[in-house]
C-alpha cells in the first residue's frame, strides 16, 4: 500500500531528533525565549492537526502554548513535622498538562472555541502544545456542514467541560465495555444515579 505524505510526517514525530544541532532543539531554545500563547501561521505537525479537525481556512487559528512541567507547587509548612508528612511533594492535578494548556489558551482567546490540541515538544521547564481554535460566529465556519456543530450553544466553553480529546481521555471516556460501566454519562452523574 502506498503511504501518504502525512504518514511520513507522522513517523518523524514518533521519535523526534533532539540532538543539539537539530531543528527541533533550536525551536525549543527559541520558544523558551518567547512569551506564552503565540499565534502561529500554520501547524508544525500538519498530519496531527488535520486528523484533529484543522482546516487551512478562515475561522481557524493555531496557538502555541506551554505549561510548566511536574506536579503542583505547594507552599512549604513552617511548623515542625517530619518531611514526609508535610504534603508538598508528589501532589499532582487531576487534569493532564495538555488540558491545562487548552483551558489557559481558551481564557486568552474568549471569542474562540478550542477544537483540539497536540504535543509539539518539551524541554527541562515546559511542555509545549499547539491548540486549534475555531471562531463559532465566522461565516466560513457557520456555512461549513462539517464544523458548524460548534456554533451550537451546547458547545459553548466546551474545553472547560472536558469535551476535547484530552478532556475525554481525562474523564475516562476512551474506554468502553467491561470495567467502564460507571463513567457514562459522567462519573459524577453516575454517583447521583442511585439517589
At 91-129, the pLDDT tens digits run: 888 899 999 999 999 999 999 999 999 999 999 999 999
Residue 37 lies in domain: 5-191
Domain count, the chain: 1
Q: DSSP readout, 35-97?
A: PSSEEESS-SSHHHHHHTT--SSTTEEEEEEEEE-SS---PPP-S---GGGS--SS---SS-H
* Torsion on CA atoms 7, 67, 65, 164, rounded to nearest 10: 60
Q: What is the pLDDT of residue 145?
A: 94
| Per-residue pLDDT tens digits for 50-90 | 999 999 999 999 999 999 998 888 888 888 989 888 888 88
Report the CATH number at residue 92.
Answer: 3.40.1120.10
| Per-residue pLDDT tens digits for 141-194 | 999 999 999 999 999 999 999 999 999 999 999 999 998 989 988 889 998 987
| Per-residue pLDDT tens digits for 42-58 | 999 999 999 999 999 99
Q: What is the pLDDT of residue 154?
A: 92
Amino acid at each position: 500500500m502506498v503511504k501518504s505524505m502525512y504518514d511520513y510526517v507522522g513517523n518523524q514525530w514518533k521519535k523526534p531528533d533532539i540532538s543539539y544541532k537539530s531543528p527541533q532543539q533550536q525551536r525549543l531554545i527559541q520558544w523558551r525565549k518567547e512569551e506564552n500563547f503565540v499565534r502561529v501561521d500554520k501547524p508544525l505537525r500538519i498530519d496531527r492537526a488535520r486528523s484533529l479537525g484543522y482546516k487551512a481556512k478562515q475561522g481557524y487559528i493555531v496557538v502555541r502554548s506551554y505549561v510548566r512541567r511536574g506536579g503542583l507547587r505547594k507552599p512549604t509548612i513552617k511548623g515542625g513535622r517530619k518531611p514526609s508528612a508535610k504534603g508538598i511533594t508528589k501532589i499532582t492535578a487531576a487534569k493532564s498538562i495538555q488540558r491545562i494548556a487548552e483551558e489557559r489558551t481558551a481564557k486568552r482567546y474568549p471569542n474562540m472555541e478550542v477544537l483540539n490540541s497536540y504535543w509539539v515538544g518539551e524541554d527541562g521547564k515546559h511542555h509545549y502544545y499547539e491548540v486549534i481554535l475555531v471562531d463559532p460566529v465566522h461565516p466560513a465556519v457557520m456555512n461549513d456542514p462539517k464544523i458548524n456543530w460548534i456554533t451550537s450553544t451546547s458547545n459553548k466553553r466546551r474545553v472547560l467541560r472536558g469535551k476535547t480529546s484530552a478532556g475525554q481521555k481525562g474523564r475516562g471516556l476512551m474506554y468502553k465495555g467491561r470495567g467502564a460501566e460507571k463513567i457514562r454519562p459522567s462519573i459524577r452523574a453516575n454517583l447521583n444515579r442511585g439517589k
